[in-house]
Structure 1
Amino acid sequence: MFHRLESRILATFIAAGSATMLRRGMLRRKNLKTLSSPADSAQPELPQSSGPAAGVPLVGNPIKGYGQFPLGLVAPDFGNVGYADLPVARREDLPDQVLFRSNAEGFNQKIEVALRGGELFVRNIGDTTWRCVPTPESLSGNIHGISINEDALVAVDTAGWMYTLSNLLSSPSRWGWIRAWGSPFWFGRGQQSPNTSPGKWSLSLIGNHTDRFYETSDGKRQPISLAKVTQVLALSPDGSRIYSLDPWLARDYSYEVGTPLNGRFQVHSLSASGSQIFVMNRYGDMFTRLDDFDIKGADPAQFRYTWGFDPRPAAAGALSHRLNPTTAPIALPSDDWHQQPKIPGAITDRISIHSTAQGSKQRELRVEGQHKGLNGYWHKQLFDAHWSFTPTGLPLEGHRLENPSEDSSTRTLAAPSPFAYRGELSNGVMLSVEEFSYASPKREVLIHTGKRHYPLVLHTIDGRLGSPLSMRMSPVKGQFGPRPAGLVESTPRNYAAAFELPKSTQRAAHSDPVLARFLAQYFKGQQFRPVYLKVTPARMRVLHSPILGIALALPRSVVDLHAVASKSSTRRGTLTA
C-alpha cells in the first residue's frame, strides 16, 4: 500500500512538473538527435521446472536457530553436539585435503564439506574421517553443486533451485535445511540460480560474529547487519553480468554487480566470501570488490548513508548505527573494483577466496597453478602486492589458462551498453550520458556549455529512491517489487544517485562563466549533488528533491533526458541490448 501511495504521489508531482516545464520551454529538444530507444535488456534463461523439492522444509526452526531464525542475533557455539552421531562415509573418492571453496568442495572456519554422487559429506577441520550430512530424502542424491561460506551452505539441483543448510558454525544438532528464498523476509517459495556450472556461481555471507565489520574507503569500521548479508552470485553465459540473489529481496534477477570496465569485462571464474567478490577472465586478469546490498547504499531501513566523508566515529554495532546520530553514516560512493597483480606463473581457472580474520579486507585469494614444475596454488592476502606459491602434489583440476604477463583485461570485452541519454540539466547546460551500464556503480558523464564540455561522475545505487518505503520489498510486480532484469520499458529502474564534481571541472570554471554559474547554483560548494533517477531504455528521469532522503518530485525539480544514438552503437551500426 505504501509503495503504491508513494508511486502515485511521485507520478502526480512529476506530471505537474513536466507540464510546467513544457509550458516554460524547459524541455527544449530542438537540437537533440533522438531515436527510438534500444530494445529491452535480455532476460536470463532458466530451466523449466515445477518448483523446488517439496520435501525440504520451507521454514527453519527458531529453537535450533537455523533457516530464517535467529539470523545473527545468536552467536555460533562452534560445538560438536551430534557430530559423533553422523554416519561415517563409506566412499573412496572423498578428498584428503580441501584447499579451495569450489562448487564440489569447500570449508568455513569450522568444517570442510564435499559433494560426491549428489550427496553431501562433512568433517571437522583437522579430522580425517568424513561423515554423511543429514539431507531430506527428496534432495539426497540430487545435489548438483554446493557453495559454503561462514555458517551457511547453498546447494543447487539440476534445475538450479537453491536450498540452504545453515548454522554450520554450531553443533550439528542445530543444523537444518530450508528451500525458501526471496521476499517476504526469506519466506519466498524458492528461486533458481541462473547458472549452476562449476566456477560460475558462489555463495557470499558476511557475518556479524565472524567478519564483524566492514572496512570502508574512509578508514572506518562500519557494523554489519544483525541479519548478516547473504547473496548468491551467478554469471550470465557470456560472463558480462553477475546476478546477485539475496534471500531477503524480491525474487527476481534484476539485482546485479556490474563487472569491471563499465560492465564489459567478461568473467570466466567467480568466487566470493564475506561480500568480497573475486573474478578472473580467460587470460588470468583478476579483480576484487567489496559489494553487497547494505554496504553499497541500498538499505536505508537498516543503515544511514552520506555522500562523501563524515568526521563522526563509526558505531560499535548495527543498532547504535541506526539510532545514534552522533555516529558516522556509511560513506558513499562504495567500493570499486580493484585490479589484482598478475600471477608470475602457470595457472588454471580454478580460483577461491575465503575469510582469514575479522574485517572485510581480511581475505586470502587462491588460484590453482604450477611453479617450477610443481602443482599447487598461488595465494596472497587481498591487498598484498605479491603472490606466493604452495606446492600440493595434487593433480590440477581446473582448465589451464593462457596467462600473459601484461594486462589483458580488455582482450575479451562484451559489447558496450547501447543506452545513451541527452537533455537539458539546467538553463543553458546540457547533460549527455554515454554507454549507461545500468549495473555499474559509476561512470563519467559530460555537461555541455555551448561548444564546450566538461566531465562529471555519476554514481548510482540501484533498487531504491529515498526512503525505506521505496525499497523493493513488495510482492507485487513493478518498480517496488519483482521486476525484469536490466533496463525495460515497462518498469523504470530506480536509483539513489549523485553527481560528483571533479577537480578538473572546478578549475575549468575559472575560464567559463556559464560553467561557473552552473556549478555555483547546482553544487552549492559541495563535491556531491544527490539526485534520484528513474531509468528506462527511452528515458532517464532526474529528480532533484528539495528534501534530503525523500525522492520528492516538485515542479521545476524534474529533468528528462531522452534516448539518443550511442556513439558506440553508431560505430557498430546496431542498437541491440
Structure 2
Amino acid sequence: MIGMTIAAMTALGGIGVPAPASAEPKPAATAGPLACVPMLSTFQVVLPLPGLFLPLPSIRGVSEFRDLPAAPHGLNLPTRVDYRDASQGFNGFAEFALRRGSLYTRARDSGATWRKVATPGCLDGRIVSMSVDSNMVVALDRNGWIYSMDNVLSGPMLWNWTRLFGSPIWLWPGIQVPEHGQDRNKWSISHRMSESFVDARGFTHPTQAGLVQLVSLAGDGSRIVYQDPWLPPDHSYEIGGPLGGRFIAESISGSGSVTFVMNRYGDMYTRKYDLDLAGSNEIPGRYTWQIQPRNTPSAPDQLQERFNPGFAAISLPAPEWQHQPKIPGEITSRISIHDDGRRMENRQLRVEGRSNGRTGYWHKGLNERAWTFTATGQNLVDEVLTGADPSTDQSAQTLAAPSGVDFAGRLPGGWTARIDDYDWAQTTNPVTLTAPSGRTYRAFMHTTDGLRFVPRGSGLDTEPRTLAGALDVTKAGASPELTRFVNSVLDGRRIYEISLSATKSRLVISPAGLLTQPMVTLTRRTG
C-alpha cells in the first residue's frame, strides 16, 4: 500500500462518476471519486500538503476576487456569513457559500459581489455539502467522496483542488466520510494553525505545523469518527464521545482541533483533541503519562520541546470533554465554532436562535461562561429545539446503551481486574481491582489509539488494535495490600505505562516497551 505507484492510484481514483445532483433518490456509492478532480492539485506549484505549507502568500491579494466570474442572479446568496456549516463558511480572509452544487466566494466581511469559485468541471454543480476552516475548504459529492481546496488564506489565484486524502502522507487517491456523516450538521473540517495550546495539566506547548482532521458523527450520533489525511483511508479512528461515549449528538462542528457537539435538547460539549494531542504521534511530539512538577518550564519552540527533556512534555491523557453552559433562550441545532485568536483556546462558539422574538445567534468564547446574543434578522435555517430547557441539564435524557462489553482476568499475586462496559475509543475506562482479601479498588486505564499506516475495520474485531496507555491507581486509595501490589506488580509506580492489544474477545495488557511479556489477559465475560 505504501509503495503504491501514482499510476495505480490514478487508476483507482478514476473509477465511477456519479450522476448530476437532482431530487431523485441517492444512488449507490460509486467505486471512486470524480476522476477530473486531480491528485497533484489544480495549481501545480506545491503538493496539496496544507500541514506543511501554511499558507502561500497571495499574488495580488483581495483584488484577485475580481478575476472570478460574478455569481448569476437568483441564487439567494447570503448577505452575511455568520456560521461555518454545510452551506456556508469563512476564515479570516474569505467567505464561501454553496448554491445549486457550486461554490461562491468573496473577501471576508466585504459585502462585495459574490464570485464563482473555479472548480473542476465534473465536480462543479455536484457539491452537496461543504466545510471551511483556516487554510482549507472541503466539499463532498452526493456519495460522500472528499475533495479539498487549500491555500484559501491566500488569493484565489493560488487556490487548488485535489481528491487525495489519506496515508501515505496525503497521497491516497480518495476516501469517503461515514454514511451518516454526509447529512447536514453531521461533519466538519478542522484545520489547526494555532501557535500554542494548553494540555490537560495546564502546561502550554508551542506549535508550528498545522494539523487537518475531518470529524463526523456516525451511527446514532454517539460515535465520532475522525479522518486525517496522514492516516489510513478508513473510519477506524474515533474521538470517544461525552458521558463515556453514550451522549447522542445531533450536530457537530470542528475548528483548529476543537470539536463542538450538541444533542436534541441543546446540551453542548467541546473537546480539544486530535492525533497529536491524543499522544498518538511521537514524530513531532514528546509525551508523558506521569505527573510533571508544576514548575517545569514550557519550551520556547516545538523543536526544543521534542528533544530537550528539561521542558514540559505534552501531558496525557488528552483533555476531556468540557460541558458548556446551556443557552438562556431559544436555539436550533445549527452550531458553529471558529478561531478567534492565535491560541487553540481562542475559539468562538455560535448557535442559531432567537431572543425576545429577534433572530440571530448566541455566542461565547470557548472558556467563557456567559452567552451573548447578536441579532441578525436572518431567517432561522433549522427548527427551534422545542424540548430544550435552558435551566436543566438534559444530557442524559437520550443516551446510547452501554457497550455491554465486559472483560475480566487474573493479575499476579492473586489480584483480579474487571472492566465493565469497555469502550476502546474512550480515553479513560474505569478498572475494578480486587485484592486477595476481597477488598476492591477503583483504578483507571488511560489509552490512546496507536499510529497505523494500513487500513483496518472500525471498532473491535478479531484483528488486534494496539493502544498505548497507563494503568492509574493514584485515586485508588491507600492500604498496605495496595502498596504491596504497586511495588510488586507495577514496579512501584502508581501510574504504570502499558501497551494494550484489544480484540472483541480479549484485552492483552503488557508493560510499555518493545518485546515485553504480557502482564495480564482479560477475557470477554458472557452471561
TM-score (norm 2): 0.90
Q: Are 1:143 and 2:123 counterparts?
A: no
Could you say what secondary structure the match of 1:359 adopts?
Answer: coil
1:187-238 residue CA offsets vs partner (Å, 9 max, x unmatched) = 001101112111000001101xxx2112223322213352x11111111141
Q: CA deviation at 1:146?
A: 0.2
1:406-434 residue CA offsets vs partner (Å, 9 max, x unmatched) = 11111111111122110112211110011
User: Is the contact made by 1:455 and 1:502 (CA closer than 8 Å) also made in structure 2?
Assistant: no
1:482 corresponding residue in structure 2? 455
Query: Within 5 A, what are the aligned runs for 1:249-268?
Result: 249-268=231-250
Change (3 A) 1:148 1:426: same
1:39 corresponding residue in structure 2? none
Query: Within 5 A, what are the aligned runs for 1:62-77?
Result: 64-65=45-46, 67-68=48-49, 71-72=52-53, 76-77=57-58
1:456 corresponding residue in structure 2? 443
Q: CA deviation at 1:77?
A: 4.7
Q: Are 1:185 and 2:152 counterparts?
A: no
2:336 corresponding residue in structure 1? 352
2:304 corresponding residue in structure 1? 320
1:561 corresponding residue in structure 2? 522
Q: CA deviation at 1:298?
A: 0.4
User: Is the contact made by 2:40 and 2:47 (CA closer than 8 Å) also made in structure 1?
Assistant: no
Q: Are 1:105 and 2:88 counterparts?
A: yes
Aligned mates of 2:494, 2:54 — CA distance in 1? 38
Query: Within 5 A, what are the aligned runs for 1:155-554?
Result: 155-194=139-178, 195-207=181-193, 211-224=194-207, 226=209, 228-311=210-293, 312-401=296-385, 402-404=387-389, 405-450=391-436, 451-462=438-449, 464=450, 471-473=451-453, 481-489=454-462, 491-503=463-475, 505-507=476-478, 509=479, 513-545=480-512, 550-554=513-517
| C-alpha RMSD of matched pairs (Å) | 2.0
> How many residues are aligned here?
493
User: Is the contact made by 1:60 and 1:68 (CA closer than 8 Å) also made in structure 2?
Assistant: no
User: Is the contact made by 1:286 and 1:340 (CA closer than 8 Å) also made in structure 2?
Assistant: yes
User: Is the contact made by 2:80 and 2:109 (CA closer than 8 Å) also made in structure 1?
Assistant: no
Could you say what secondary structure the match of 2:239 adopts?
Answer: strand
Q: Are 1:89 and 2:76 counterparts?
A: no
1:29 corresponding residue in structure 2? none
Q: CA deviation at 1:250?
A: 0.6
Q: CA deviation at 1:265?
A: 0.6
Aligned mates of 1:68, 1:179 — CA distance in 2? 12
Amino acid at match of 2:289: W
User: Is the contact made by 2:251 and 2:262 (CA closer than 8 Å) also made in structure 1?
Assistant: yes
1:486-533 residue CA offsets vs partner (Å, 9 max, x unmatched) = 0001x1111101011233x233x1xxx332310233445544110010
Aligned mates of 2:219, 2:55 — CA distance in 1? 39
2:36 corresponding residue in structure 1? 55
Aligned mates of 2:481, 2:489 — CA distance in 1? 12
Amino acid at match of 1:506: G
Amino acid at match of 1:224: T
User: Is the contact made by 2:486 and 2:493 (CA closer than 8 Å) also made in structure 1?
Assistant: no
Could you say what secondary structure the match of 1:80 adopts?
Answer: helix
User: Is the contact made by 1:235 and 1:241 (CA closer than 8 Å) also made in structure 2?
Assistant: yes
Could you say what secondary structure the match of 2:411 adopts?
Answer: strand
User: Is the contact made by 1:66 and 1:167 (CA closer than 8 Å) also made in structure 2?
Assistant: no
Aligned mates of 1:225, 1:444 — CA distance in 2? 35
Q: Which residues of structure 1 form unaligned runs of 5+? A: 3-45, 465-470, 474-480, 571-577
Aligned mates of 2:51, 2:42 — CA distance in 1? 9
Aligned mates of 1:279, 1:70 — CA distance in 2? 25
Amino acid at match of 1:328: A
Q: CA deviation at 1:373?
A: 1.2
Quote the sequence identity (%).
39
1:468 corresponding residue in structure 2? none
Q: CA deviation at 1:73?
A: 5.7
User: Is the contact made by 2:431 and 2:443 (CA closer than 8 Å) also made in structure 1?
Assistant: yes
Amino acid at match of 1:494: T
Aligned mates of 1:526, 1:537 — CA distance in 2? 29
Amino acid at match of 2:477: Q
Amino acid at match of 1:164: S
User: Is the contact made by 1:240 and 1:267 (CA closer than 8 Å) also made in structure 2?
Assistant: yes
Aligned mates of 2:155, 2:226 — CA distance in 1? 29
Aligned mates of 1:249, 1:344 — CA distance in 2? 40
User: Is the contact made by 1:66 and 1:166 (CA closer than 8 Å) also made in structure 2?
Assistant: no
Change (3 A) 1:279 1:372: same
Could you say what secondary structure the match of 2:395 adopts?
Answer: coil
Aligned mates of 1:76, 1:326 — CA distance in 2? 36
Aligned mates of 1:47, 1:286 — CA distance in 2? 34
User: Is the contact made by 1:543 and 1:551 (CA closer than 8 Å) also made in structure 2?
Assistant: no
Ranked by relative contact order (alpha carbons within 8 Å, sequence separation 6 or more), the top structure is 1
1:531-576 residue CA offsets vs partner (Å, 9 max, x unmatched) = 010011110000114xxxx34223xx432111113xxxx6xxxxxx
Aligned mates of 2:86, 2:506 — CA distance in 1? 41
